[in-house]
Amino acid sequence: MSKKITNLLTIIVTLSIILSLSIGVCAKTTVGVSLLTREHVYYNFLENYLKEEAKNLDVDIIIMDGKFDSNIQMNQVQDFITSGVDAILLSPASISGAEGSYKLAKNAGIPIFTFDVSAPGDFIAHVGTDNFKGGEIAGNYMAENVLKDQTGKVVIVTYSEIEACVFREEGFCKAVSKYPNIEVIDIQNCSGSMEKAANVTQDMLLKYDDIDALFGVGDPFAMGAYQVIRAKGRDIPIVAFDGNPEGLAEIKKGGIWKADVAQNPKKVATTVLDYAVDYINGKEVPHITLVEPFVIDINNVEQYIK
């Protein structure tokens, strides 16, 4: 009887081990994603490409809207940790909020990656647009292709709370500073709001009657500025940043919206998810990967309109 019990226990233990190993083999990798927002078209592109790549990699992906709110994102990170994800992708709403999310993930032993928007701290890898380079591209384009004789007074509608947009502003200012007859006369923060972008543009139009061009650090903000400029009947050319459909549609019309510095959301999304899966599987990944943007104007806009 004792021998039978021993054999039975052996069989039970063996089956338990086999079942445990089977579950381990079959369990899919799960990645949690906190987007900065779902309000902007660019982030819709990022979300769609993340879903496509997750399907290609046979990875489960949970995507949530951070709504420009660091507290919401920290709660989402905590939810990801509680649900047992294998990695977290974060597009941080602020530097301070990112620090809290990094700490939560590190304490839980879960690798965290940032994409599109960067924030200093303890993350595994960041993938995003080279925003400073993009700002330089925008500044050089404005000087060489928009302003007559490389001369004029320029205003900027920026987004000071987001590091990526600050880099765009700084890159633009560096580029135009090389042209002695170009002056940046005002920089106004729209805090990520198209409505506020319209309001600060209206204020600048009232303050200055000699604005020669405007740079918007994102298409939604440039659109807010554009609507006011059109309503006031002013002929002020715009260079923007993103390459969203609404910007490209205006470029195609051949009006005052002259160009967009375009990002590559597919490359950003697929690369950061690939890095997360590689890291989970024990591979080394680059700490910083920056994707260089490019100009879309009247000469090539047709090929980018879907």
Q: Which amino acid is residue 106, in one-letter code? A: K
Residue 85: CB partners within 8 Å, gap ≥ 6? 30, 31, 32, 62, 110
- The pLDDT of residue 97: 86
CB 147 within 8 A of CB 172: no
- Name the burial class of residue 224, with classes exposed (0-12), middle (13-18) and buried (19+) by CB atoms within 10 angstroms of its CB: buried
Q: Which single residue is written with the structure tokens 């490209």?
A: 248
Paired sense of beta strands 257-262 and 238-242, if any: parallel
Gap between the Cα atoms of 143 and 163, Å rounded: 24
Residues facing residue 296 across a β-bridge: 260
Task: Read off the DSSP letter of residue 205.
Answer: H
Exposure letters 100-134 (e unless 16+ CB within 10 A, then b): bbbebbeebebbbbbbbbbbebebbbbbbbbbbbb
Which CATH superfamily does the domain covering 29-129+265-291 fall into?
A: Response regulator (3.40.50.2300)
Length of the chain: 306
Q: Which amino acid is residue 258, in one-letter code? A: K
Q: Where in the chain is the domain with CATH 3.40.50.2300?
A: 29-129+265-291, 131-263+298-304
Q: What is the mean pLDDT of each run of 10 residues along the chain (306 residues)?
A: 55 50 63 95 95 98 96 98 98 90 98 94 97 98 98 97 92 98 98 96 97 97 98 97 95 98 96 98 98 97 91
- The pLDDT of residue 140: 98
Gap between the Cα atoms of 190 and 89, Å rounded: 26
CB 156 within 8 A of CB 215: yes
- The pLDDT of residue 56: 98
> Residue 295 is encoded by which pair of tokens?
């100009």
Residues facing residue 152 across a β-bridge: 182
Q: What is 131-263+298-304's CATH number?
A: 3.40.50.2300
